[in-house]
Amino acid sequence: MPAWLRSIAVTQPPERMAREEWRAIADRITPPAVDRAVLDRLAARSGIDERGCAASGAGAGFYPDPGSAPPPGTAARLALWSRTARAMALDASRTALDRAGVPASRITHVITASCTGFESPGIDAQLIESLGVARSSKRLNVGFMGCHAAVNALAAARDAVLADGKAAALVCCAEVSSAHFHRSERLDQLVANTLFADGAAAAVVTGDDFAGDAARPARGILGTHSVLIHDCADEMRWTIGDHGFEMTLGARVPDILREAVGGWVADSLRTHGLVVGDVRGWAIHPGGPRVIDAVAAALGLAAEATTPSREVLRTCGNMSSATLLAILGRLGDASTPAPWVGLAFGPGLVGEMVVVG
């Protein structure tokens, strides 16, 4: 008995930022000691043409010129996260419910994910209040798990609806990465500044006995799989500092993924009676172009298999946990035949995988 993925919807903040605009912000927030040619190369190699950036709409003072004022503290950054994430989450969730043909009153589980902010009562309570979800609904927040949290949230939704076939889960990932740009000379933080973006994605998952609109298409969530890659904890970290959240990105991450991903994916697919060649749609989280390249090489994928991931990176940037749902949504919009595989990676170094049929 499958769990059914009924819909996906994506939204971004109204503040859109082209690559040239990002380059101007990067010049302002980067210390003078950093060679500006480095910023040019990072922007050119990012694979991003434009992205959502709420910080650019918060006034130039949010990230002032070096020396003119201190960078924003964690409280100011979380305030930007709160107002932006809440607005995006509500918009994406309303659209996902409408596309699924599922009234908010029929939702029994609300599962939210974010690694770029925290507060309580959180986005889950806001969605219940604003959408008219039953106050008796069960709530779960997947916090601080990074770019792969959408898979963790879908796994929780799948478990919920398999336990009760009449259940319906609203999943929502909302990230405001621009709240955590850093004034730093460290190359990994310059890379993070260049890649990360803002966005939210919502999905509706129902059980087999849910009395919804049977005429609307749905995909089965066949399973999820996880791997904690050995001895890689220092390669990717996401910690909380006095001036926002701080990313550590090791240069070895693509090489580690190239070595580790192939066997894990093959073993996981085997539990579904599948091999890599059976998969018709790939959603590879775009931690950056090198990550996509590494995963594709590990799996022996043709270039066109990575097009949905590269297109989301190009037009949206890396929206952390919202990104994987955005790519899966593109596979659905393109009527890509099943099965699909979604892959994402985060601090630990951890890989998460969802199989959709």
Structure tokens at 142: 């997947």
Determine the pLDDT at residue 176. 97
Q: Write out pLDDT tens, residues 274-310.
A: 999 999 999 999 999 999 999 999 999 999 999 999 9
Same domain, 166 and 294: no
Q: Specify if 235 maps to a domain.
A: yes
Tell me which residue range forms the domain holding 11: 3-206
Same domain, 27 and 164: yes
Determine the pLDDT at residue 62. 80
Same domain, 116 and 38: yes
Residues 32-49, mean pLDDT to the nearest whole number:
95
The answer, yes or no, to whether residue 141 has pLDDT greater than 80, is: yes
The C-alpha atoms of residue 4 and residue 1 are separated, in whole angstroms, by: 9
The C-alpha atoms of residue 97 and residue 95 are separated, in whole angstroms, by: 5
The answer, yes or no, to whether residue 215 has pLDDT greater than 60, is: no
The total number of structural domains that make up the chain: 2
CB atoms within 10 A of CB 350: 21
* 101-112 per-residue burial string, b: 16 or more CB within 10 A, e: under 16: ebebebbbbbbb
The C-alpha atoms of residue 200 and residue 267 are separated, in whole angstroms, by: 31
Query: 206: which strand partners?
Result: 4, 168
Same domain, 276 and 200: no
Q: Specify if 244 maps to a domain.
A: yes
Q: Specify if 212 maps to a domain.
A: no
CATH code of the domain containing 346: 3.40.47.10
The beta-strand segments (E) located in 54-154 are 109-114, 138-143
| Length of the chain as a residue count | 357
Same domain, 139 and 227: no
Same domain, 177 and 239: no
Query: 110: which strand partners?
Result: 139, 170
Determine the pLDDT at residue 88. 98
State pTM to two decimals: 0.96
